[in-house]
Amino acid sequence: MDATLARKWMEAAAAAIAAGADRLTRLDSAIGDGDHGANLNRGFTAVVATLEKAPPESVSEVLVKAGTTLISRVGGASGPLYGSALRAAGKALPATSEVQPPDLAVALRAGLEAVRKLGGAAPGDKTLVDAYAPALDAFEEAVAGGADLSGAAGAAARAARVGAEATVPLQARKGRASYLGERSIGHQDPGAVSTSLIFEALAEVA
């Protein structure tokens, strides 16, 4: 992956979130504040604009800039969570013009750790971690087996989608949805869905 491909990933993620914004809002209206779709759409629109204004020369810089933009432009919990993930991932990468799948695996692991440190969520808590963790596991497994970026990203996207779907029967233990207790059961977590969209965007461009 080079900086151009990393930008295409952010652009594809922005397009996917824009297309899914209404769905994300409906999901969030059931168990949260109802602003997840609108907030992320605004944030990723700003990410694309930022990257167009001053195109970074490394994948590391693309992700750090994207994360910083999300933190500064998105309200609620999603800005800090997604922004911290991207910033941590970017900082974990070498400042070279191109990075390899094993480098990205390390970066994605750093992103998940940042999310878990900030939000305190674990798999099974009905959060974005339920899509991110299996996606990362699949990416790492594929890379360890010799897969290229396309193969690893495809495996991650499929695992993220399954992980997001698996949040439906869970009871939320973190975030605003946790206030609903058992009433959160039966609803898909919007953060897991948007995380799935971001991994699917990576698979689309890889």
Quick one: angle between helices 3-31 and 190-205, nearest 10?
A: 160
Can you say how many angstroms the Cα of residue 202 is from the centroid of all Cα atoms in its chain? 10
138 lies in which domain range?
Answer: 3-205
In terms of Cβ atoms closer than 10 Å to its own Cβ (0-12, 13-18, 19+), residue 84 is buried
pTM of the model: 0.94
pLDDT of residue 50: 96
Can you say how many angstroms the Cα of residue 146 is from the centroid of all Cα atoms in its chain? 24
* Chain segment 15-45, per-residue pLDDT in tens: 999 999 999 999 988 888 788 999 999 999 9
Residues sharing a CB contact under 8 Å with residue 49, sequence separation 6 or more, in sequence order: none
What tokens appear for 111 in the block? 């992103």
Distance set, CA 129 to CA 114, 122, 167 (Å)? 11, 7, 10
pLDDT of residue 179: 67
71-77 long-range contacts, Cβ below 8 Å, gap at least 24?
Answer: 73/42, 73/43, 73/46, 74/39, 74/40, 74/42, 74/43, 75/35, 75/39, 76/33, 76/35, 76/36, 76/39, 77/119, 77/175, 77/176
- In one-letter notation, the amino acid at residue 26 is R
What CATH number did the domain enclosing 66 receive? 1.25.40.340
With a cut of 70, list the residues of the chain below it in pLDDT.
Answer: 179
pLDDT above 90 covers what percent of the chain?
A: 79
What is the number of structural domains in the chain?
A: 1
Measured between alpha carbons, how far is 32 from 35 in angstroms, rounded to an integer?
8
